[in-house]
């Protein structure tokens, strides 16, 4: 039975390899942090993690996870509505609601699940979803699971969005779906203009804060803070796996009635185990840390500005960024892979991205800055970029 499909799979894998698209996992032998040890003890600086606030190895979170595990056990072995809800789950949902200034929150195993379980319970074939062309795969998959009519507008193109909204007046309800920060380019969705159009054309607004919460805004509280859009954004989704400690877990937060309906009908919530107590306890402590000070966010902003300004001064082509993501444009797919490999030889972990992850001819090295990076880390990375850039004729000698 397996023989024919095995041959097919082998050919597919060979074609992926020959196209230069085969993904290989790099093994880390330390906690996730700015300076890591990989493979057989090789030291490296990590510039490709989503650890924006440097909390992945934070000792307070580790101790909170241990304490919670001692008090509440290892796992829940149940979905929420059967016997999978502890008081800690409700405390974490309240902390998230407080952070985003919303009415209620529902937890998921990941933001992929949150986005996958969002649209189908709320919208039907008489409704419309208007989605940014560069939205994350989880939003795309969530939209596919819904019977609503689909519209798509070019990335952050408000003229195209307005055109879609005009066409969508034929539908009963409309929702605009967008990432807060687009993960390949690092740009922020223009939420002020999106909210204006939503109000003009009677549409809800949903934003995925995975790469923006903890990063953008005066104190890092995301796009609503950045654009003073509290009360204008109806639904936020997000993850606990990036800025917020880097473990696992996702959430949807917004109006009470929306969250209530998701608890009744959202399939990833109804049919997946509850978040483990250790993750919940550590996440509650993480929100305590963020409520005490915005120091981590301030350090992150300083690091981003320092890195970006010196890379531009060195002659690199950096996409305009308003986040912790700096896209170093190389345009050629093979060059991006060679560049990333040479950077690893210099002790710098970065990743090259190319089609189909980004459009053809738009290959780049995506650098992700963290509050965990110290100035000497940044200087070493910049020095390595300049050395490799000159070797590969990306910048002038």
Token pair in block for residue 302: 């300083």
Q: Is 49 within 8 Å of 246 (Cβ atoms)?
A: yes
Taking alpha carbons only, the member of 354, 352, 353, 328 closest to residue 340 is 352
Taking alpha carbons only, the member of 149, 74, 122, 139 closest to residue 267 is 122
Catalytic residue at 211? yes
Catalytically annotated residue among 110, 138, 183, 336: 183
Catalytically annotated residue among 33, 136, 242, 297: 242
Catalytic residue at 242? yes
For residue 132, the number of C-alpha atoms closer than 13 Å in the C-beta half-sphere is: 26
Q: Alpha helices of the chain — where are they, by DSSP H? A: 2-18, 59-72, 80-83, 87-100, 111-116, 119-122, 137-144, 158-167, 191-200, 223-226, 256-265, 267-270, 277-292, 295-313, 333-345, 375-391
Long-range contacts formed by 69-73: CB under 8 A, 24+ apart: 69/277, 69/278, 69/281, 71/277, 72/277, 72/281, 73/277
Q: Is 241 within 8 Å of 111 (Cβ atoms)?
A: yes
**Exposure pattern of 162-193 as b/e (b: 16+ CB <10 Å)?**
bebbeebeebebbbbbbbbbbbbbbbbbbbee
Give the 3-state secondary structure of residue 158: helix
Could you tell me if residue 27 is left (phi over 0), alpha (psi between -120 and 50 degrees) or otherwise beta?
Answer: beta
Catalytically annotated residue among 33, 211, 297, 377: 211
Positions marked catalytic: 183, 211, 242
């Amino acid at each position: 039975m397996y023989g024919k499909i095995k041959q097919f799979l082998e050919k597919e894998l060979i074609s992926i390899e020959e196209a230069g698209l085969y993904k290989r996992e790099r093994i880390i032998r330390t906690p996730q942090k700015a300076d890591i040890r990989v493979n057989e003890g090789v030291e490296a600086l990590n510039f490709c993690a989503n650890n924006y606030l440097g909390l992945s190895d934070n000792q307070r979170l580790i101790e909170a996870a241990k304490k919670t595990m001692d008090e509440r056990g290892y796992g829940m072995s149940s979905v929420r509505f059967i016997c999978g809800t502890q008081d800690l789950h409700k405390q974490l949902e309240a902390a998230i609601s407080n952070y985003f200034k919303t009415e209620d929150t529902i937890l998921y195993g990941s933001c992929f699940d949150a986005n996958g379980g969002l649209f189908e319970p709320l919208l039907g074939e008489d409704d419309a979803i208007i989605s940014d062309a560069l939205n994350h795969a989880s939003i795309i998959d969530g939209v596919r699971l819904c019977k609503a009519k689909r519209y798509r507008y070019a990335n952050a193109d408000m003229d195209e969005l307005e055109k879609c909204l005009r066409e969508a007046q034929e539908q009963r309800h409309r929702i605009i779906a967008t990432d807060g920060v687009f993960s390949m380019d690092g740009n922020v969705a223009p939420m002020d203009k999106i909210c204006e159009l939503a109000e003009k054309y009677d549409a809800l607004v949903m934003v995925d804060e995975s790469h923006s919460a903890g990063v953008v805004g005066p104190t890092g509280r995301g796009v609503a803070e950045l654009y003073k859009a509290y009360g204008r954004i109806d639904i936020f989704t997000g993850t606990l796996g990036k800025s917020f400690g880097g473990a696992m877990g996702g959430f949807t937060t917004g109006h009470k009635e929306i969250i209530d309906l998701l608890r009744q009908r959202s399939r990833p919530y109804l049919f997946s185990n509850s978040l483990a107590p250790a993750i919940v306890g550590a996440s509650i402590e993480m929100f305590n840390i963020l409520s005490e000070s915005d120091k981590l966010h301030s350090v992150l902003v300083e690091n981003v500005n320092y890195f970006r300004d010196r890379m531009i001064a060195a002659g690199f082509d950096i996409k305009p960024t308003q986040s912790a993501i700096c896209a170093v444009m190389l345009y050629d797919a093979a060059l991006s892979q060679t560049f990333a490999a040479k950077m690893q030889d210099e002790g710098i972990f970065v990743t090259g991205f190319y089609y189909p992850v980004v459009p053809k001819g738009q290959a780049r090295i995506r650098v992700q800055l963290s509050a965990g990076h110290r100035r000497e880390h940044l200087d070493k990375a910049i020095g390595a970029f300049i050395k490799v850039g000159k070797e590969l004729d990306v910048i002038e000698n």
